[in-house]
Amino acid sequence: MVPVTRVVAQGTFDILHPGHLHYLQEAASFGSELHVIVARRENVTHKDPPIVPDRQRATMVEALDPVETAHLGHTEDIFVPIERIEPDVIVLGHDQHHDEAAIADALATRGIDCAVERASALESSDERLLSTGQIIDRILETRE
């Protein structure tokens, strides 16, 4: 029997775009089972809060091919779902504000033994909108 290598990716995933898919495909390549933690609206403090409701964002993420399961984040402690999933690898998005060393230290303090990696950026092109902010800006430009 082949051992399962659990990978965790996490993010807001407000309006899905090619950058999200690239991140999740790359994260999935680190193992055999990709779990995604979708941030709850009240926990998103480093940028504008998501427009799409929590459960809907999780449902959409779980429908993507590379994703085994999507989980909503914990309201008070970001490490609660990590402890439940027991990942071998956590893959951070290329532009996420988290510091790899700080995450690794927090994991070690909690007795969670897993690697922390950083995904690459998806190359931009004139046609692709690679952030939720870009999509919202385009909508506003064309709907005014």
- Render pLDDT for 24-68 as a digit per residue (tens, 0 to 9): 999 999 999 999 999 999 999 888 899 999 999 999 999 999 999
Give the mean pLDDT of the chain: 92
14 labelled ligand-binding = no
12 labelled ligand-binding = yes
Is a pLDDT exceeding 80 seen at residue 144?
no
98 labelled ligand-binding = no
State the DSSP code for 15: S
Residue 46's pLDDT is: 84
pTM score of the predicted model? 0.92
81 labelled ligand-binding = no
Residue 60's pLDDT is: 98
Residue 126's pLDDT is: 67
Residue 100: other Cβ atoms inside 10 A: 14
Measure the CA dihedral 124/13/132/129, to 10°.
30
Structural domains in the chain, sorted by start: 6-143 (3.40.50.620)
17 labelled ligand-binding = yes
CA distance 69 to 3: 18
106-110 long-range CB contacts below 8 Å, 24 or more apart? 106/79, 107/79, 107/82, 110/79, 110/83
